[in-house]
A and B are shown apart, each in its own frame.
With several copies, the nearest count.
Chain A
Amino acid sequence: MLFDLQVHPRAGWTVVSVIGELDLAAAPRVRQAMLQVVTGGPGSRDTPERGPRVILDLGAVDFIDSSGLGIVLGAVKRVRAAGGTLRVVIKEPQVRQVFALTKLDQILLLAASVDDAVTAPTAPGPVGDEPRG
Chain B
Amino acid sequence: MGEVQLEIPARVEYLVLARQVVAAAAAVEPRFRDERIDDLRIAVSEATTNAIEAHADLSRDERILIRCNLDDERIEVEVLDHAGGFDPGTAGAAPDAEAADRLEHERGLGLPLMKTLADETDISSTEGGTAVRLVVYTPHAQRPA
B interface SS class: helix
Whether B141 is near chain A, meaning CB under 8 Å from some CB there, is no
Whether A76 is near chain B, meaning CB under 8 Å from some CB there, is yes
Interface residues of B in 1-33 (CB under 8 A from A): 12-13, 15-16, 19, 27-28, 30
A73: chain B residues within 8 A (beta carbon): 102-103, 105-106
A interface SS class: helix
Whether B52 is near chain A, meaning CB under 8 Å from some CB there, is yes
CB-nearest residue of chain B relative to A26?
Answer: B12
A-B contact count (CB 8 A): 76
Whether A24 is near chain B, meaning CB under 8 Å from some CB there, is yes
CA distance A106 to B27 in the complex (A): 33
Chain A residues near B (Cβ < 8 Å): 1-2, 21, 23-25, 63, 65-67, 69-70, 73-74, 76-77, 93-94, 97-98, 101-104, 106-107, 127
Chain B residues near A (Cβ < 8 Å): 12-13, 15-16, 19, 27-28, 30, 35, 38, 41-42, 45-46, 49, 52-53, 97, 99-100, 102-103, 105-107, 109-110, 112-113, 116-117
Q: Can you show 22 pairs from A to B with CB atoms below 8 A apart?
A: A1-B27, A1-B28, A1-B30, A2-B27, A21-B19, A23-B45, A23-B49, A24-B53, A25-B16, A65-B45, A65-B49, A66-B113, A69-B109, A73-B105, A74-B106, A93-B35, A97-B38, A98-B113, A102-B112, A103-B102, A106-B99, A127-B99
